[in-house]
Amino acid sequence: MQSRESARSRTKRLRLESAALAAGLLLVFWTARGFRMRGSDSPEPRSSLGAPPPPAPALTFPIIKNSVRFAVIGDSGTGGTMQYEMAREMVACHRKFPFDFVLMPGDNIYGRKRPQGFDRKFALPYQPLLDDGVKFYASLGNHDRTNEQYYNLFNMNGRRYYTFRKGNARLFALDSNYMDPQQLEWLEKQLGQASEPSKICFFHHPLYSDGRTHGPDLDLRAQLQPLFERYHVNVVLSGHDHVYERINPQHGVYYFVLGNSGQLRRHNLRSSPEMAAGFDTDRDFMMVEIFEDYLYFETVSRPGQIVDHGTLPRQKSNSRGQRSPVRARIHSAASEENRRQIADAVCGVISDCCA
């Protein structure tokens, strides 16, 4: 009798213990899940905002007087720790390479569009750059709202799509969410009128991408690519896929995907013959310098590593309007040391550019 009772109590204890263990496991699981979710989009602690920027990598830009210098950040507006760390790296690089403006190919503010969200996801992380007079030019992504075109710090002046000139470059910000016939007509007119030798378009959805999640927008490509070819657009910058990718020139146009300045999809790139370079294991941003016939670029990751760099010669078109690659060379205005540095930097890229 006693043994039966003790067996019963043992079973009861065992059941209680297993229930407690299950509850404990569940608690651990949910806590870990919560941390993971918060870790990707948590507001930056105020103390780290004033932290000194990390040391910048050894940049090899020629930094020529009167050149066009800018940075590119895509899919940045998470308001998370990673965006803030990326911004600090940008500040560090800005001290070495003083870029004048930043292009944003969309998804500038994720989530709800509260006034404090604009601060947390844009104004606060880039405050040191804004204080230094760096201008941000935005285009709209699929997570942005149309009214962001009125936001003073995005410099869109109340327009969904717009164009502006910087030195010898003409830049076009497009709204790829809504490429209606009016926008296409406007773009064709503006491209036709542009007399600047360098034409750069930036918008959210990529025409070429090897990102597994989204990939290229084929319908957009069918509409835009003929215009880019006809009017000799040199470079196209996009985001949307949360990776970095440089595409081999397509129909004479250089394409970049840069959608990992705030968001990231790890190991999301698939290898393809179109890819010239790719990076999908951390956040990054790109810096560009344009002088005469050359575009110098360097892509820097959040920890300050140069993940891609090179010099792209401007495409020349013959009397029939067909593109032919320019022989890559180092510009004579660059100092001897810079020349050597650039020569080292571009040696692996030139063959890609002129392919």
Partner 1 sequence: MTGFRSGIRARRLRPRQACAGGACLAVLLVVGEAIRAAPAGQSVRTNRDALKIEKFRQGVVAYDRLHKSAAAQLPPLKPKESRARIVEYQSALAAKIRAVRPHARRGNLFTPAVAREFKRLICLSMQGREAARIRTSLKRGESVQFRVAVNRSYPPSVPFETTPPSLLQNLPELSPELEYRIVGQALVLRDATANLIVDYIPNAIP
Q: Which is nearer to partner 1, 9 or 182 (CB)?
A: 182
Residues 164-193 that bind partner 1 (CB under 8 A): 176-182, 184
Q: Which residue has the tokens 């790109």?
A: 286
d(CA 256, CA 240): 11
b/e per residue, 19-51, with b = 16+ CB within 10 A? eeeeeeeeeeeeeeeeeeeeeebeebeeeeeee
Window of 22-30, 131-139, 195-203, 218-226 that interacts with partner 1 by CB under 8 A: 218-226
Q: Which is nearer to partner 1, 75 or 298 (CB)?
A: 75
Q: Which is nearer to partner 1, 220 or 312 (CB)?
A: 220
Reduce the DSSP state of residue 235 to 3 states and report it.
strand
Residues 222-261 that bind partner 1 (CB under 8 A): 222-223
Query: What separation in angstroms does the CA of 355 have from each of 221, 250, 311, 327?
Result: 21, 10, 14, 11
With CB under 8 A as the contact rule, the residue among 22, 23, 95, 119 that binds partner 1 is 119
DSSP secondary structure code for residue 207 in this structure: S
Q: Which is nearer to partner 1, 98 or 111 (CB)?
A: 111
Report, in Å, the least distance between residue 42 CB and partner 1: 17
Q: Which is nearer to partner 1, 6 or 157 (CB)?
A: 157
Number of residues binding to partner 1, judged by CB under 8 A: 39
With CB under 8 A as the contact rule, the residue among 88, 214, 302, 314 that binds partner 1 is 214
Are the C-beta atoms of residues 94 and 14 closer than 8 Å to each other?
A: no
With CB under 8 A as the contact rule, the residue among 43, 53, 167, 215 that binds partner 1 is 215
Least Cα distance to 121 among 131, 111, 106, 136 occurs for: 111
With CB under 8 A as the contact rule, the residue among 34, 55, 111, 348 that binds partner 1 is 111
Are the C-beta atoms of residues 99 and 287 closer than 8 Å to each other?
A: yes
Residues 34-63 that bind partner 1 (CB under 8 A): none
Least Cα distance to 345 among 292, 302, 303, 298 occurs for: 298
Least Cα distance to 257 among 160, 116, 141, 134 occurs for: 141
Looking at the DSSP bridge assignments, the partners of residue 279 are: 244
Q: Which is nearer to partner 1, 112 or 320 (CB)?
A: 112
Phi and psi dihedrals of 351, rounded to 5? -60, -35
Window of 12-20, 212-220, 257-265, 336-344 that interacts with partner 1 by CB under 8 A: 212-220
d(CA 99, CA 93): 9
Reduce the DSSP state of residue 190 to 3 states and report it.
helix
Residues 131-160 that bind partner 1 (CB under 8 A): 142-143, 145-148, 150-152, 155, 157-159
Amino acid making up residue 69:
R
Reduce the DSSP state of residue 123 to 3 states and report it.
helix
With CB under 8 A as the contact rule, the residue among 112, 267, 320, 327 that binds partner 1 is 112
Report, in Å, the least distance between residue 221 CB and partner 1: 9
The secondary structure element, H or E, covering residue 6 is helix 2-41
Q: Which pair of tokens denotes residue 304?
A: 């300050």
Looking at the DSSP bridge assignments, the partners of residue 311 are: 296
Q: Which is nearer to partner 1, 17 or 185 (CB)?
A: 185
Q: Does the protein bind partner 1 through residue 272 (CB under 8 A)? A: no
Report, in Å, the least distance between residue 245 CB and partner 1: 15
Report, in Å, the least distance between residue 248 CB and partner 1: 21
Q: Which is nearer to partner 1, 102 or 312 (CB)?
A: 102
Q: Which is nearer to partner 1, 77 or 313 (CB)?
A: 77
Are the C-beta atoms of residues 196 and 166 closer than 8 Å to each other?
A: no
Q: Which is nearer to partner 1, 96 or 212 (CB)?
A: 212
> In the complex, which residues of this chain contact partner 1 (CB under 8 A)?
111-115, 118-119, 123, 142-143, 145-148, 150-152, 155, 157-159, 176-182, 184, 205, 214-220, 222-223
